[in-house]
Each structure stands twice: as C-alpha cells, then as structure tokens.
A and B are shown apart, each in its own frame.
Chain A
Amino acid sequence: MQSLPHGTSATDPDTKPLIAEFRAATKRYGDILAADALSFGIGKGEFLSFLGPSGCGKTTALRMLAGFETPTSGEVYLDGERVTDVPAYKRPVNMVFQHYALFPHLTVADNIGYGLRQRRPRPDRAEVARKVDRALEMVRLTGFGPRRIWEMSGGQQQRVALARAIVNEPKVLLLDEPLAALDRKLRREMQIELQTLQRQLGITFVLVTHDQEEALSMSDRICIMQSGRIVQSGSPTALYDQPVSRYVADFVGKSNFIDGTLMTRSGNAGQVQTATGHRFAGRLAGPLGPGANASLSIRPEQIGLAHAARDGAEPVTVINRIFLGEHTEYLVRHAALGDLLVLVARQAEAAEGGFAPGDAGHVTWAPEAGLILGLD
C-alpha cells in the first residue's frame, strides 16, 4: 500500500468480491521500472480504467494481467488463483488489442470463433457457429461472418475484435486503448456501446487509455498512474472533485493552477501565497504543512466572470473566446497570476452580457472552490 499516498485505497472494501488482484507486482525492463509494486484489486463486474500518459505503466499492468508479461517480483491473482507464472493461453481473460490484431488470413466468423475452437474437447461446429452468430449480433454485425478482414472499415474491425473477445465469456475483458484509432464521432458511439455491453454481459472490463474523456465517461473507477505507480484511484467524480495532487487534477478535467507557498493551515483550510504576494484561501486535503510548495487548483467552471468589480474580485483582460454551445470558454489574463481558463454557462453569459477579446473584466471564485494541492 506504499504506492498509494494520502491514505487512498485502491480497492473499495465494501463493494463486490475481487476478480483480479495485484500484490506488489513489479516489472523492470533493465533500468526502467514500468510497474512499481502495484497492489490493487479489481471487483467482479467492475469497469476499471488505467489512465495516464504513455510510459506511466498502464499497459504493463494490463499485460501482466493478460499473461504477456511476467512480474519481476510480486504476484498476480485471477479469480482467487495465483496466475503469476501462468502463460496467456491458460488464463480466462481476453484482450481487445490497440490495433485489433485480427487474423488477416481468416474470415470475420473464423476470427471470432478462434478462441472457441482452441477449447479441448473441441466444441462441435454447430455450437461454434451459433455462438459466433450471437456475438456478431451483439456487436451489430449480423451477416458479416463470411467477409474478409480487409473488407471491413476501422469501426467494423473494432467491433469484430470486441466480438472475438466476448464470445469466450472471459472473466475479465482487457481493452488496450481500443478506441484510439477511431475518429471522434465513432469513438463516442463505441464508448456508449462498450458501456451498454458491459452492463448486459456483467463481465469485468479493464481499460487502458490516455484519453481522460474516455476514462471519465465509461468507468466505475479510475486508477491514475504515474511512473509505474497508482497515484490515486476512485470514481470519476471523486477524482474530479478531490484530486490528491496537481498531477491528478491536471489529468482529470481541465484546471487552473496558481503556484505558490502554503502559508497557514488550520484543519482543512489553508492559504497559498504566490511569488507576487497574492494570497488565496482554499481547501486542503493532503498532508501538506506550512512552508511547502503548493498549487491552488480552480476548475474553469467555478470561476465567475463579470464586468463590474466586486469585493475580492481580480481584474483581468479577456484574451480569447471560444463558443462551445452550452458553454463559452474564455481565456483571460491576470497581471500577476498569468492566464486563466474560465468556463461560463450559457445562461450566466446571457445574464452578464458577453465579452470580446480585449475587454476588461473581473474574475471571482468561492474560497471553497480552490483546492490546495502538493506539486508532485
């Protein structure tokens, strides 16, 4: 549990029984520590995501679960059994590969039936065909069975890869950046489809992604990874509202950061002073003490933008305005704090009147909207 600072638990002890578990699983490649004593559990039926930039160890974690990598030390458990040294072909998990890895010499139906045909005793043809048809139906590709892989579009190949995995009814379905190669619209569709499928099948899904939107929209729980360790794990809402560090706040949603030094702390409230002498109050969650380098994080939607100056408001100049439909995103510049991102809801903008680049304005936020975070 040393890899989980600030007392955050990677497992929700009061939820479902565990289907998979890592116990101090470490993976080294030469000098590189890809997984640093990972310890966490995955609940039965959960939709768990590993989120982090490339090289953070998320793919290594997934590959240790699939059986493509053996931990240098530590253990991996699947459904209560120790599988640390069990080869991939003996593990009851299936993977959807990043570039699908569909067999180019087989038809769509033969690709999907591949896993079933490896079973011993071998199931009879009729049964394989029936299961393949049902899987095709589930991913909305009925009738595509006799097609060749190269005759399918990217989105269709993605669904074939999904069908090839779920047809085996794995204990855990592993998804390695499965939507990365799809265009934006298709990606939204597949996100919804994956979520629906997961609820229908009740299979545990483990997703690896660097796309925060993907992780936030689909997962029950997200593990944020950094340098081979899980820095925080929790529900999308919990990560968004209570990030434990600037790294997490930066990775989950957008945020403004005002760097400075923690001056005072009393309980959960503290004050940060910037290099320019500005002081801001904020909530405090971590074990930070006075004198520590800290960053005040304020979400763009928690900042108000007004024409008139009010008590405690900071004067800014509007730099840019992006209309996003429901919201308008303003980039404003403060003389000492630098650039801030402000998200104004449509109604609020209508009430206040819009701003054009070059306009002067004033920003305010509630003291409890500011979150004081450690810099790591």
Chain B
Amino acid sequence: MRLYAAAVFAFLYLPIAVIAVFSFNAGTHASQFTGFSVQWYGKALSNPFVMEALRTSFIVALSSALIASVFGTMAALALQGRVRVVADALFYIAVLIPGIVIGIATLIALVTLFGWINPLLALLGPEGQAPQLAMGYGSLIAAHALFSMSLVIIILRARLAGMDRSLMEASADLYAPPFATFRQVTLPLIFPGILAGFLLSFTFSFDDFIIAFFVAGSETTLPIYVFSSIRRGVTPEINAIGTMVLAVSLLLLVAAQIILRGGSRKGAS
C-alpha cells in the first residue's frame, strides 16, 4: 500500500519536479543536465513576448479576481439562508464543469451576442468608425470572473453559514443600522473568506489555459504563450516560465489556506 501511494505521488509530481530541475540547467537540452544556472530565468524575463504575455495574464487575473470577489460577495450575501441545497448544488456544478465546456459555451454565447449587438453599434457611426465588440481582454476577464465567482460564492456561503446570526442581531440591538452592521460586523468576519476567494480566483485565472484559449481573441496570456512555444519543442526557458508560474500559484494557494484557517479560528470562538 505504501509503495502504491509512493508510486502515485511519484507519477503525479515527478514530471513537475523534472521541469523545475531542468529550468536550472546550464545547457540547452531539455533532457540532459549539464550544470546549474539561472540563465534561462534571465532569458525568459528579458523575452519581450513572455513579458507581454505575463502582463496580459496579470491584468486579466487581477481584474477578473476583483470582479469575482465583489460580485461573488454580493451574491453570497443576497443568497444567505435561502434555497440552500439548490444554490449550493448549482455553484458546485459550475466549478466542476470541464473547462472545455465553459470555454466553448462562453465562445458561442459571446459570438452570438456580438452578432446581435455589432450591427446595432454599426448604426451609431460611419462605416468602419463605429465601435465593434470583439474577443480580447473583455471576454477573457468576463469568462474568468464568471467562473471564479462560483469559487468565491462557495467559500463565502460556507463562511456565512458558520457565522452566528445573533452577532448581527446584537449589532442591531446596539443601535447600529443595517449598513453599519454590515461594515462593522459582517464584513470584518467574512473578509478572510473574500481575500481567500480573491487569491484563488487570481490563481485560477493566471493558470487557466482552456477557457482562455477559446475566448482570448488576439490576446496572448502566459499559458497560451507557453502552449504555442511548446510546439517548437520544450526549451529550458519554458521550464523556467513553468517553474515561476508554479511557485507563484503555490504561494497564493498556501496564503489562501492560511487566511481561511486563521479566520475560521477567530470566527468560531
């Protein structure tokens, strides 16, 4: 049984470890370690295409995570105590649906929508000068925010359900009007959940390839750049980029876990 577990872990993590190790390879071969070096990190970070893709990924991840956190929080608050089972099931399904389905569905929905709206927009200005909707930042951010919102809602619903309702009543009893209660009691108590949701959303968007591939239009996010580079062969430079993305993602996920744990200790007492 032990051996079996070890084999499973090796199978899961060894390829990733190999990528990390070879990102420090001095040579150009992706399968032959010739010496330690960080030159590929320098190469990756000075490659203007990589930097451009990184910038795109960062903007999309930040915007979609912000939107998901704000609207996800509002949705979780509005759905408090209502239709528990149905709502929870729907949000879990939204998270569990394969990315390719979300990608295709979003693409079809947006193309159809643009097909309706663009002719109307064309009426606003002369030929070629009227604003036209197209795939790009907007569709990337929207698709990621929509998916991440489910994550935020699931986290916050769990947190709100665990919160003592009498705390809100106590605040009202102590003369705080509804919004003051929200600002002074509800928000501070669910904030760790919001922050964790934000970090998870950011990580998801930053790492996502499948959905982005369908709706990115002419934009290139980091995962899309990596994918297209791999077609020309795996280089240590790609390994370096992969390792950096991995490090940032792990850091954010661990931070989200710590925030959720620490927050629940406080909230529960």
Contact = CB atoms under 8 A, between A and B. Distances in A.
Interface of A: 66-68, 87-90, 93-95, 97-99, 101-105, 114-115, 118-119, 149-150, 164, 168
| SS class, residues of chain B in contact with chain A | helix
Given A89-B176, A89-B177, A118-B180, A104 B170 contact: no
A88 B172 contact: yes
B191 to A, nearest CB: 9
A104 B269 contact: yes
A89 B267 CA distance: 23
Interface stretch (B51-59, B96-104, B161-169): B161-169
15 contacts: A66-B169, A68-B172, A87-B172, A87-B177, A89-B173, A89-B176, A89-B177, A89-B181, A90-B175, A93-B173, A95-B173, A99-B164, A102-B170, A104-B189, A105-B188
A167 B178 CA distance: 22
Interface string B135-175: 00000000000000000000000000000101101111111
Contact of B170 (A103, A119, A150): A103
Contact of B166 (A94, A101, A164, A168): A101
Interface of B: 164, 166-167, 169-178, 180-181, 184-185, 188-189, 266-269
A-B interface, 5 closest residue pairs, ranked by CB to CB distance from nearest: A150-B269, A115-B174, A101-B170, A101-B166, A118-B175
A149 B267 CA distance: 11
Contacts of B181: 89
A76 B248 CA distance: 59
A90 to B, nearest CB: 8
B227 to A, nearest CB: 44
A104 B175 CA distance: 18
B266 A119 contact: no
Nearest to B168: A101
A230 B184 CA distance: 38
B173 A118 contact: no
Contact of B266 (A67, A89, A105, A118): A105
A88 B266 CA distance: 27
Contacts of B170: 95, 97, 101-103
B185 A94 contact: no
A88 B173 contact: yes
Contacts of A150: 266, 269
A338 to B, nearest CB: 44
A118 B166 contact: no
A101 B168 CA distance: 9
A93 B170 CA distance: 11
Given A97-B169, A150-B266, A119 B175 contact: yes
B254 to A, nearest CB: 23
A342 to B, nearest CB: 44
B266 A104 contact: yes
A115 to B, nearest CB: 4
A164 B269 contact: no
Contacts of A101: 164, 166-167, 169-170
Contacts of A90: 175
B80 to A, nearest CB: 16
A202 B188 CA distance: 36
Nearest to B269: A150
Nearest to B170: A101
Nearest to A114: B174
Interface centre among B167, B178, B181 (most CB of A within 10 A): B167
Nearest to B267: A104
Contacts of B172: 67-68, 87-89
Contacts of B185: 103
Contacts of A68: 169, 172-173
Contacts of B267: 104-105
Contacts of A89: 172-178, 181
B190 to A, nearest CB: 11
Contacts of B174: 89, 94, 114-115, 118, 164, 168
Nearest to A93: B173
Contacts of A105: 188-189, 266-267
A89 B180 CA distance: 10
Contacts of A102: 170
Nearest to B192: A105
Nearest to B164: A101
Nearest to A119: B175
A314 B154 CA distance: 70
Contacts of A67: 172-173
Contacts of B175: 89-90, 115, 118-119, 168
Contacts of A97: 166, 169-170
A171 to B, nearest CB: 13
A168 B172 CA distance: 13
Contacts of B184: 114
A164 B167 CA distance: 13
Contacts of A94: 173-174
Contacts of B189: 104-105
Contacts of B180: 118
A156 to B, nearest CB: 13
A114 B269 CA distance: 19
